[in-house]
Structure 1
Amino acid sequence: MWRSMASLSGFLRSKLFSWQQTGLFHSGFRLLAADKELLVKLRKKTGYSFINCKKALEKFSNDAKQAETWLHEQAQKEGWNKATKLQGRKTTEGLVGLLQEGNTAVMVEVNCETDFVARNVKFQQLVQQAALCTLKQCRSGGQQQASYSKGFLPGEEILQMKTDELTLKDVLAMTIGKLGENMLMKRAAWVMTSSDMFIGSYMHGALQADLPSSANISFGKYGSLVVCRRTDENSTSNITELGRRLGQHVVGMNPLSVGTIEDESEGDAETRMLAQPFLLEPSLTVGQYLQPHGVQVLDFVRFECGEETQSSEGGRL
């Protein structure tokens, strides 16, 4: 009898312990699930690795705000250290980014060491941020009425611009830290026109952009902007397609000036745009091609990734 009672008592103690353990397990499971959800949110918001996000949350007892701040600080520090080590390595690859919104358009060039990195989404995000900052700055300067304005920015000036939280100089350093290549913010150009004009644009060697932002940006190795004015309001020409064709000509034929409609062509050696044989219809000069379309070319900008410029050093860290 005593053995039976002792056996029953042991059984009850065993069950009680089991229930306690089960309760602790469920409680711990809920806690771990909450921690994992917080980790996933922090990872998605910042883009940093799970390991670093986990380390940050542990360091600040799951305070997501403090963890995020710390992650940014560490990324900047590590990026700057990496950038310092990589200084001096050649940056002959990269991308031209072209962003156009209405009657405003910008082009930027950012260089890196290899074409492999140029195709990385993080590098493309850097180019996009440079373009968006340039667009914002040129709009803040205003423009003259019934005309157009054009400007150029060296890399050093671009690096001083700010995104929502950081300067582009810090963003560049952090991108270098993430991708492990030296990079150079080379240059930017912008064009703004009044409502009676339009901007033709073209990007050669375009890459498919896979960015979360809805900004109308394209990437490639050659880009052009062409400032045009309608001379015939009754013209039925498709100005978007016409502008693209003119931009294609600027990229392919590399004119040095616009010239005038009266210029006589010097054939393949011609450098004045309106006197050059039109790339898509070589039997006509650009000026002759434009006449029936009722469009006048006023100016253009051409970027070729990696080309020598007057300020070829660009914006280095």
Structure 2
Amino acid sequence: MSVLCAVRTARADISRIFSAQPIQFLHCPGVRSMAADKELLMKLRKKTGYSFSNCKKAVEKFNSDLQQAETWLHEQAHKEGWSKASKLQGRKAKEGLIGLLQDGSSAVLVEVNCETDFVARNVKFQQLVQQTAIATMTHYHSKRANATDYAKSSLTTEEITQLKTSLNSCSLADQLALAIGKLGENMAIRRAAWVAVPSNWHIGTYVHGVLPADNPSLEKVKFGKYGALVIYRPLEQNLKVNLSELGRRLGQHIVGMTPLSVGSMEDPPGDDTETKMLAQPFLLDPGTTVGQFLQTSGVSVLDFVRYECGEVIEMAEKV
């Protein structure tokens, strides 16, 4: 056989080998494994929200077992969050947000603090505020059960953080630690207030310094630096007054004029230093008092709650 024939024969043999086993070369187990791991990694990251590197570490640690990897990630996040929370505990957290949630005849105000306004605008921080408001509302709904009278209550930091959230039934204390671990600032769930009214009463709501929700899931909660709930009722039926707008205006007054009590209709008119609401000059019409405005409107104010982010608690407790 000539050299040329030998070369042609070798080429033919090689060609037959490649043509006979195309699948082996195009779909080898290593390629399939890499594609599967990448898909699993993206699924885990989307589901948990943790970093790419941590998700990759979890996938490798548990040989691509998604459930074990997710459980481990949550455990590590809690450990790291609590550790960071402990380290940052002494740092001042006077910024943050007031969260307001209304659900029919009941409403909630909460205050959650952080160190900077930058973090207050972060969606993850706003989610913590939302979880706090929803957990508070759920807690009181379970207690109220068919009650028909006016109810008002408040929770301290210690009481709020023990409430369960809708996220895997975790406590707010756990969610707080996770947020601290992710955002790297000291935070505190400071307080919460809840009110519920009978069917013929109304709750006016107002939030000042409103921050728009960057996420559609946050739209039920209003965020701001100041918030007010005002409890009022019409003195007669079929009033020609927009009761919802009236409640918003009263909320504006409470935020702007900082009353410490409702007061009495018999209180003499006061000036800008007056702390009884009914005797104060009405914010939107300083020529008349709040009491006079309510008389012409046919409405009676019974109570209110005012929150200011970072305010001195002793002042807030007099309300």
When normalised by structure 1's length, the TM-score is 0.92
- 1:4 Cα deviation after fit: 4.3
- 1:132 Cα deviation after fit: 0.7
CA separation in 1, counterparts of 2:293 and 2:25? 81
Letter aligned with residue 47 of structure 1 = G
Aligned counterpart, 2:52: 50
- 1:185 Cα deviation after fit: 1.3
- 1:193 Cα deviation after fit: 0.9
Aligned counterpart, 1:240: 244
Aligned counterpart, 2:27: 26
Does residue 298 (structure 1) correspond to residue 288 (structure 2)? The answer is no
CA separation in 2, counterparts of 1:48 and 1:195? 45
Does residue 193 (structure 1) correspond to residue 197 (structure 2)? The answer is yes
Letter aligned with residue 159 of structure 2 = E
Q: 1:224 aligns with which of 228, 249, 255?
A: 228
CA separation in 2, counterparts of 1:42 and 1:10? 50
Aligned counterpart, 1:100: 102
Question: What secondary structure, in the 3-state scheme, does the structure 1 residue paired with 2:312 have?
Answer: coil
1:143 and 1:192 in contact (8 A); partners too? no
Aligned counterpart, 1:315: none
CA separation in 1, counterparts of 2:13 and 2:281? 97
When normalised by structure 2's length, the TM-score is 0.91
> After superposition, what is the alpha-carbon deviation per residue over 1:67-98, rounded to whole angstroms, capped at 9, x for unaligned?
11111001011111111111201111111111
Letter aligned with residue 40 of structure 2 = L
- 1:126 Cα deviation after fit: 0.8
Does residue 266 (structure 1) correspond to residue 267 (structure 2)? The answer is no
CA separation in 1, counterparts of 2:75 and 2:27? 36
- 1:236 Cα deviation after fit: 2.5
2:81 and 2:177 in contact (8 A); partners too? yes
- 1:22 Cα deviation after fit: 6.2
Distance of aligned partners of 1:31 and 1:255 in 2 relative to their CA distance in 1, 3 Å threshold: same
Aligned counterpart, 2:157: 155
2:213 and 2:219 in contact (8 A); partners too? no
2:127 and 2:218 in contact (8 A); partners too? no
> After superposition, what is the alpha-carbon deviation per residue over 1:158-200, rounded to whole angstroms, capped at 9, x for unaligned?
1111123211111111111111111111111111111111110
Q: 1:129 aligns with which of 128, 131, 142?
A: 131
Question: What secondary structure, in the 3-state scheme, does the structure 2 residue paired with 1:261 have?
Answer: coil
1:101 and 1:216 in contact (8 A); partners too? no
CA separation in 2, counterparts of 1:293 and 1:150? 25
Gapped regions of structure 1 (runs ≥ 5): 313-317
> After superposition, what is the alpha-carbon deviation per residue over 1:215-248, rounded to whole angstroms, capped at 9, x for unaligned?
5101111000001112121112222211111100
Distance of aligned partners of 1:143 and 1:276 in 2 relative to their CA distance in 1, 3 Å threshold: farther
Letter aligned with residue 194 of structure 2 = W
CA separation in 2, counterparts of 1:139 and 1:116? 33
Aligned counterpart, 2:89: 87
CA separation in 1, counterparts of 2:249 and 2:193? 20
Of 262-271 and 175-184, deviating more is: 262-271
Of 184-193 and 4-13, deviating more is: 4-13
Aligned counterpart, 2:64: 62
CA separation in 1, counterparts of 2:216 and 2:22? 46
Gapped regions of structure 2 (runs ≥ 5): none
Does residue 11 (structure 1) correspond to residue 15 (structure 2)? The answer is no
Question: What secondary structure, in the 3-state scheme, does the structure 1 residue paired with 2:144 have?
Answer: coil
Distance of aligned partners of 1:7 and 1:136 in 2 relative to their CA distance in 1, 3 Å threshold: same
Aligned counterpart, 1:211: 215
For the aligned residues, what is the CA RMSD? 2.1
